[in-house]
Structure 1
């Protein structure tokens, strides 16, 4: 059969299948009648058969490309399971995120190591050269330290807790997204965010220690600091996981490798997002308050960190596969 005859004889089925796909796209698959699904499935089998024939006899032609598109579109409609959002969210929370967290353990460990190294570097540099702290705090903040006051002392007097909480939440989300998206630049921007935040933390610890205000700083960050730093590291780890898909060689096609690592990185960020909202509330309403005991703040910080780690490392995902089906996203 020549190319023209092939098109003339088979085009009617192709157009019928394309029309069926268009109609199905305007309604949920579950809403289609059984007869309509049967007809679509039969047409899909013919399209697959025609595609195999066209790929062998007429490679690179318009008909072959068209059949390939129809075959894959039909597979997405007929073979993909459509489940309600609620069960998918529950599955993600109970199994998807913990499994992904462990699968990305190497990337998260690298991020944690880099962050700790930069924190130590920032501490040592500031301890040796106080001027290094000016890169992060500025003259007014350091002048306040010399007078015995932290820049955090006036937070609630500058803006109400509700506004402060919203701004903190926005900032935390921005940092997390930037740390993750930086993986698209082969991990360079994710690494940069780790370095900057690590140097900042180390420098702040050293300069407050120099002026005898380290205890005040630790009191302020006790409720939110441990989890916040952990989430920054996990977000940067998500960026490094994305970078692995771009850099690491594999016997599989590059697109398949990138898709796998990208999905993992997105799941990590999705799992971090709700905790950032919790941190925004804690940092806006709890951390700045002087009437809350330091021990209570420290206990809250420990509970938040323990809850996150218990979830991320939970046994609920031990029996899950490396890629649980139907998870978000």
Structure 2
């Protein structure tokens, strides 16, 4: 039986990876701080990775595969040091954010990454992932897969970004919905279950790979229009340009009072990364409509008008739409 160690295994993505490995017939152990259960069929080892001896309980066992997801460089470096001698392969979940720039359309894995974060420096996510990748390469070498997901989407997403659009058009019904200017904007996503399946495949085959795990680039309008179709939205789309939105305190990308997935126009490479290596390695890419339908079911179950971590409230949106129409 394949022995798999998930460093984490109780969160959104790592929990799905753990369940996928269990479903594949592996013996799965999750090392986490506790507070949330491991998936059914997986063992939970409770440990705080910031403490000395955090890996003692798992460093005495042999692992066919280790999955690491942390963006804390000190956690990754200590994990690879503790586990290298007892592990055949490690899959590290990095991020497209590791790249130093987002100004080249279609850039692949050869693009420059950020300078690794050094101990004592102010935390920066891009540089933290770069430092973690460096630790993995230095210790595991060709016994590691480094997977760089883009925007991870699907049911149970704790960030509330992708699900905002299908939830919002459903809530609006026949009423208008506010969007950024859609012409020329792109989007690029990866379904959480496609990503989990790929991470399992990397470990099962012990792939020595670096791959951008992301779907095909698509117009942002395609995402919005597909969400409208899934949710049967019949209202208008009210577009607003970047300058107007910024002047009205609407935030980019995520968080309160934002239009999720909206990005400044000077980042043309962000949603247009090459996924050729991912596809060549057999990475699955399901239909956008399928992801949106599953997300819509989840958003409906959680409440379309619930308080969200990302997006405008419906009241904020209606006020902005009125202001926009007065300005036209």
Which TM-score band applies after superposition, normalised by the shorter structure?
Answer: under 0.3
Q: Specify which structure has the higher proportion of helix.
A: 1
Higher relative contact order (CA 8 A, sep 6+): 1
Q: Specify which structure has the higher proportion of strand.
A: 2
TM-score normalized by structure 2? 0.23
Which of structures 1 and 2 has the bigger CA Rg?
1
